[in-house]
Amino acid sequence: MGADTIWIIGSNMTRFGKHPDKDVVDLAAEASREALKDAGISLSEVGVLGVGNLMNAGAGIGQQLQKQIGQTGIPVFNVSNACATGATALRVAVMAVKAGETDVGMAVGVEKLAGAGLLGQRGPKPESETWQPSGRVGALSSTEGRIGTSIMPGVFAQVGMEYGHKYGGTSFELFAKISEKNHSHSTLNPLAAYQKRFTLEEIMNDVMIAYPNTRPMCSGNCDGAAAMIVVSDEKMKSMSLEVQKRAVKISASVLTSDPYVDGCQILPDVNTLTRNAAAQAYEQAGIGPEDLDLVELHDCFATAELVHYDNLMLCEEGGAVDFFESGAPWRDGAKPVNVSGGLQSKGHPIAATGIANIHEIVMHLRGEAGDRQIEGARVGLAHVIGLGSACGVHILEKVA
């Protein structure tokens, strides 16, 4: 017997930032135990565990976590799906509950990245005496720099620039203003890795990483974990009124990969799979973008945030620049985006991100977001994208 409606009854994220005194399992344990406490249930009731971690994908972090917080013998799914790893772990828990395999699922995303430097960079191959072709294009050495770039800041810079070529209206200053917004939002989020407000001039005059993205326009590598408890409708109704009052409905849970389009193997297409995921999510939830009270989207770089306004259909096709310039995505605007501070200031511990952005929505829908509360928020959307690519979109609603 499957469950039609899935509820989040417990949710937690650790502070994002540097945790030199904690290892990956410590962080995962902290978020998991707090999420269980938040839900008011025991680990013994959890029937499935989805655990996301990218940097130690082969290490069985799920079982390592169980060794520290409780070995109950339940199935563990260790998942790795680039920056969508956390959302994938949650999808596993949601699917298991939906399929009727269990009434209670737990999802955890955890990463330690502080000081990891730029991702996607490959070191030079060992020097050989003679040219040796290798790989799928028979390259004689690393293609990085020789044939453009595959490093994240450069790839996502090109994603934003491509949007500018297609629709016009973009500029270095525009992208920097998006970053100014998110850093401003972060000052209200005590769990953010960076809570510093930057002026537009400071952002534009900071170290250039990959034009048009300067350092504050890039997501910060840091440590962190997030965890969530999901239950079936039947289970939710069996719980205390206090739990029921704080429960948040998952109205849509969608994961997509990138379908083939012309040129997608040259510059990764982060647009089509996001648009597809959004369309499926709106249909599942039976609501439209106009109904959203807030959005957490994957601003791994300032250039990426712009294209996702369009991909998530927060504006007309081609209208992302006008949407931003209208002031809509500021926290006091018509469609607040990344009121957590986004990845640029909240930080981006990769596998934790896809659960942490949902946690942010949960906090607002419960009315527990403190100083940064979006008043009266009842519907929110969380989006992540991992290059390669994978996209997760979740729509949450406050029903009770």
Partner 1 sequence: MSEAQEKQTTETSKKIPFVDYLILDDPPYLQAQECTSCDARYFDRRNACASCFEDQFRPVAIDREGIVTSFSIVQMGPIPYVSAVVDCGGTSVKCTIMNVEPSPEHVNLGMEVKLMTYSMGQDSEGTEAIAFGFEPI
By CB under 8 A, residue 147 contacts partner 1 = yes
What is the smallest separation between the CB atom of 170 and partner 1, expressed in angstroms? 9
Q: How far apart are CA 71 and CA 310, in angstroms?
A: 44
Does residue 44 bind partner 1 (CB under 8 A)? no
Q: Which of 99/261 has CB closer to partner 1?
A: 261
**Cβ-based burial of 208 (10 A; exposed 0-12, middle 13-18, buried ≥19):** middle
Structure tokens that stand for 162 in this block:
């491509």
Q: How far is the CB of 176 from partner 1 (least distance, A)?
A: 13
Contact 7, 248 (CB under 8 A): yes
Token look-up 């959005």 returns 295
The only residue of 59, 99, 118, 334 in contact with partner 1, by rule CB under 8 A: 118
Q: Which residues pair with 223 in a beta bridge?
A: 17
Residues in 260-279 at the binding interface with partner 1, rule: CB under 8 A: 260, 262-263, 265-267
Does 99 help bind partner 1 (rule: CB under 8 A)? no
Residue 206 identity (one-letter amino acid): D
* Nearest residue to 359 via CA among 379, 387, 335, 340: 340
CB of 274 to partner 1, least distance (A): 17
Q: Which residue, among 368, 359, 382, 378, has the nearest Cα to 296 in the 3D structure?
A: 382
Ramachandran angles phi, psi of 101, nearest 5°: -75, -25
Answer for which of 115, 145, 288, 318 binds partner 1 (CB under 8 A) is: 145
Q: According to CB under 8 A, which one of 32, 88, 158, 276 is a site residue for partner 1?
A: 158
Asked if 200 is part of the footprint of partner 1 (rule: CB under 8 A), the reply reads no
The region, left, alpha or beta by phi > 0 then psi within -120 to 50, assigned to residue 138 is: left
Using CB under 8 A as the binding rule, whether residue 128 contacts partner 1 is answered as: yes
Q: In 3D, which of 311, 273, 299, 150 has the Cα closest to residue 213?
A: 299
Size of the site for partner 1 (CB under 8 A): 45
Q: DSSP character for 148?
A: -
Strands 248-257 and 6-13, bridge-based pairing:
antiparallel
- Is the distance from CB of 53 to CB of 354 less than 8 angstroms? no
CB 121, min distance to partner 1, A: 8
* Cβ 213 to partner 1 shortest distance, Å: 8
Nearer to partner 1, 100 or 115 (CB): 115
Please report how the helices 172-186 and 302-311 are oriented relative to each other, as an axis angle in degrees rounded to 10: 90
Task: List, by residue number, the catalytic residues.
Answer: 83, 348
Per CB under 8 A, 205 contacts partner 1 = no
Residue corresponding to tokens 């601003």: 299
The residue within the footprint of partner 1, chosen from 34, 38, 162, 305 (CB under 8 A), is 162
CB-based burial label for 201 (10 Å; 0-12, 13-18, 19+): exposed
Q: How far is the CB of 344 from partner 1 (least distance, A)?
A: 17
**Choice from 49, 159, 227, 365 touching partner 1 (CB under 8 A):** 159
Residue 115 interacts with partner 1 (CB under 8 A)?
Answer: no
The residue range among 95-103, 155-163, 237-245, 362-370 that interacts with partner 1, by the rule CB under 8 A, is: 155-163
Nearer to partner 1, 26 or 162 (CB): 162
Q: What residues pair up with 391 in beta bridges, in sequence order? A: 256, 385
Considering the rule CB under 8 A, would residue 123 count as an interface residue with partner 1? no
Using rule CB under 8 A, residue 139 touches partner 1:
yes
Q: Which of 68, 99, 115, 140 binds partner 1 (CB under 8 A)?
A: 140
- How far from 71 is each of 16, 28, 61, CA to CA, in Å? 27, 15, 13
In the bound state with partner 1, the residue whose beta carbon lies nearer, of 162 and 397, is 162
Could you tell me the smallest distance in angstroms from the CB atom of residue 167 to partner 1? 11
| DSSP one-letter code for 85 | H
Judged by CB under 8 A, does residue 133 bind partner 1? yes
In angstroms, the CA 76 to CA 50 distance is 6
Q: How far is CA 65 from CA 30, 72, 205, 224, in A?
A: 10, 11, 43, 15
Tell me the closest approach of the beta carbon of residue 186 to partner 1, in angstroms: 24
Contact flag: residue 280 with partner 1 (CB under 8 A)? no
Residue type, 343: L
Rule CB under 8 A: say whether 10 interacts with partner 1.
Answer: no
* Binding footprint of partner 1 on the chain (CB under 8 A): 118, 121, 128-133, 136-141, 143, 145-149, 151, 153-155, 157-159, 161-162, 164-165, 172, 207-213, 260, 262-263, 265-267
